[in-house]
Structure 1
Amino acid sequence: MTYNHIPLGGIRVSYTPELEGGGHEFGRAFAPFVRDVVGRPGRLLEWCAGPGFIGFSLLAAGLCDSLDLADINEHAASAVAETVGANGLDGRVQFHISDCFAHIPAGASWDLVIGNPPHVNSEDTQTDYRRSHSPLIWQDSDWAIHRRFYREVGAHLLPGGSVVLQENRRFSSPEDFTGLIEGSGLEVVGAFDCGPDYEDYYFLWSRLPAVAAGS
């Protein structure tokens, strides 16, 4: 397999065009948001990771101790293995081929779960993604992937753990996901702009509710 490469911090990330869903572009907004707003996690999972642009950028910035990556696309596993080997990251990065959390160990849990999931609800939506990307990258009809993610993610969060997903204002609003989050037992912290360079995108932050004292 021949890979393209992009440097993210001190890590040279391997990828193919078929795996590229924007994580090395608008995904760059994650590092300052985690550093300045969410706070540094110890254990980090990037969901819908593809080649791991976002997760590797946070690892390179010293914003986590260990990194797990999960994606349904088995080709992403090979790209991540290439990145891990080339950058001497054995023991710090683990990849899971998984449809949501179906093939992730039941006991696996993280301080922070991040993701750049498919942004488009309908297969009929006219979108530039259709021309250049596999539906695995952009399509989530009836938000079925989001629904399943929020149903399952709480079981994989450590106490006080958070979820931050990056969404696209052209195809959704925070209100599309509020009921899914609250129905999962998480609480919505808020929606946050990704910054002037990424005006189409917003972060949706949720977390496990704080446990009341004495409960």
Structure 2
Amino acid sequence: MTAYRHVTFGEIRVSYTPALDGGGMGFGQAYVPFVREHLGPVDRLLEWCAGPGFIGFSLLAAGLCGTLDLADVNEDTEPAVRDTVRANGLDGRATAHVSDCFAQIPPELSWDLVVGNPPHVNSDDARTDYRRRHSPLIWQDSDWAIHRRFYRQVRDRLRPGGNVILQENHRFSSPDDFKGLIEESGLDHVGVFDCGPGLEDYYFLWSRLPDTGTGS
């Protein structure tokens, strides 16, 4: 049995191991004030590349989503998420998925908001301390292949008015690296936003479904 560590957001105690921590309980917490200020509560939320769910569970604890799906390609994340769900009585409100992007997530599921702290490094880049401390599953996305797959698929998983907000790292990418992927996906590029004081390395990349209303 895995001996989990724990961190608490609001009234939710999240189970994790150091190997699953890609920064979500640190810089990832910038999501809470950002979503509160710019979107407010949503019904259905997905955290993509979720790890143990630091971002998603913090948004749930803050009352910023009604239900939460958490998806990661790493099979070790699922038992950690399930431990959190069980310990906090979140059955029916939070669900773990082991999935390569959306491939293994039930096709009927869709969301009002998709967030994520995906791999930030487009290479086997020796400059990053991630390389020494973490599995490549957490930090490496060569040729932005994971991002490309995500943006090709995410539009069909958004509910009307749905939004996508990913957290990226200025040290290893430029927003221009992703703007073409957003355009090709058919989403509207809303903008690039700072993550707040002390988090100057990081930025939010916001896109959303186009408004198809015809007006009056």
TM-score by structure 1 length? 0.98
Paired with 2:165 and 2:126, the residues of 1 have a C-alpha distance of 25
Match in the other structure for 1:24: 25
Write the deviation string for residues 90-112 of structure 1: whole angstroms up to 9, x where unpaired. Answer: 11111111000110111210000
Deviation at 1:2, TM superposition (A): 0.5
User: Which letter maps to 1:45?
Assistant: L
SS in 1 for 2:65: coil
**Cross-structure match for 1:167:** 168
Determine helix, strand or coil for the equivalent of 1:65. strand
Partners in 1 of 2:213 and 2:30 — Cα distance? 33
Structure 2: which 5+ runs fail to align? none
Q: How does 1:188-203 map to 2 (within 5 A)?
A: 188-203=189-204
Q: In structure 2, how many angstroms separate the alpha carbons of the residues matched to 1:125 and 1:103? A: 32
- Specify the SS of the correspondent of 2:76: helix
User: Structure 1 residue runs of 4+, over 6 Å off?
Assistant: none
Instruction: Kindly tell me the number of residue pairs found equivalent between the two proteins.
Output: 215
RMSD across aligned C-alpha pairs, in angstroms? 1.2
Matched with 1:106 is 107
Query: Are positions 1:67 and 2:61 aligned together?
Result: no
Secondary structure (helix, strand or coil) at the match of 1:171 reads coil
5 Å-filtered alignment, 1:130-145, equals 130-145=131-146
What secondary structure, in the 3-state scheme, does the structure 2 residue paired with 1:13 have? strand
Q: Deviation at 1:125? A: 4.1
Corresponding residue of 2:123: 122
- Partners of 2:66 and 2:39 in 1: CA distance: 15
Deviation digits for residues 20-64 of structure 1 (CA, Å, limit 9, x no counterpart): 000000011000100101332110000000000000000000000
The residue that corresponds to 1:152 in the other structure is 153
**Preserved contact between residue 69 and residue 97 of structure 2 (Cα < 8 Å):** yes
Aligned counterparts of 2:213 and 2:82: Cα–Cα separation in 1: 42
Distance across 2 between alignment mates of 1:6 and 1:109: 28
- 2:178 and 2:207 mapped to 1: Cα distance? 10
Which letter does structure 2 place at the counterpart of 1:57? S
TM-score (norm 2): 0.97
Structure 2 residue 211 is the aligned partner of structure 1 residue 210 = yes
- 1:203 alignment partner, SS class: strand
1:172-187 correspondence runs (5 A): 172-187=173-188
What is the identity, as a one-letter code, of the residue corresponding to 1:42? Answer: D
Percentage of matched positions with identical amino acids:
71
Question: 1:126: how far off?
Answer: 1.7
Letter in 1 for 2:150: F
Q: State the alpha-carbon separation in 2 of the partners of residues 103 and 155 from structure 1.
A: 15
- C-alpha separation in 1, matches of 2:76 and 2:213: 44
Task: State how far apart, in whole Å, the 2-side matches of 1:10 and 1:193 are.
Answer: 27
Other structure's SS at 1:21 match: coil
For 1:179, what is the secondary structure of its paired residue?
helix
More moved, 117-126 vs 58-67: 117-126
Q: How far apart, CA to CA, are the structure 2 residues paired with 1:74 and 1:120?
A: 21
> Does the Cα contact within 8 Å between 2:125 and 2:131 map onto a contact in 1?
no
Range that drifts further, 91-100 or 124-133: 124-133
Residue 153 of structure 2 aligns to a residue in which SS?
Answer: helix
Q: Distance in 2 between matches of 1:184 and 1:107?
A: 20
Task: List alignment gaps of at least 5 residues for structure 1.
Answer: none
SS of alignment partner, residue 84 of structure 1: helix
